[in-house]
Amino acid sequence: AVNTSGGGLSYCHPGMFGLFLLVESVRQLRGECGARQISNARLALAHANGGLLSSQATAILSID
Q: What is the pLDDT of residues 5-55, one digit of tens each?
A: 777 776 777 677 888 899 999 999 999 999 999 999 999 999 988 777 788
**58 in any annotated domain:** yes
pLDDT band at 60 (very low <50, low <70, confident <90, very high): very high
Q: What is the pTM of this model?
A: 0.82
**3 in any annotated domain:** no
**25 in any annotated domain:** yes
**5 in any annotated domain:** no
Q: What is the residue range of 57's domain?
A: 14-32+40-62
Give the total number of structural domains in the chain. 1
**1 in any annotated domain:** no
**51 in any annotated domain:** yes
Specify the 3-state DSSP secondary structure of 28. Answer: helix
**2 in any annotated domain:** no
Asked if residues 49 and 55 have their Cβ atoms less than 8 Å apart, the reply is yes
Q: Tell me how far apart the alpha carbons of residues 17 and 33 are, in angstroms, rounded to a whole number.
A: 18
**54 in any annotated domain:** yes
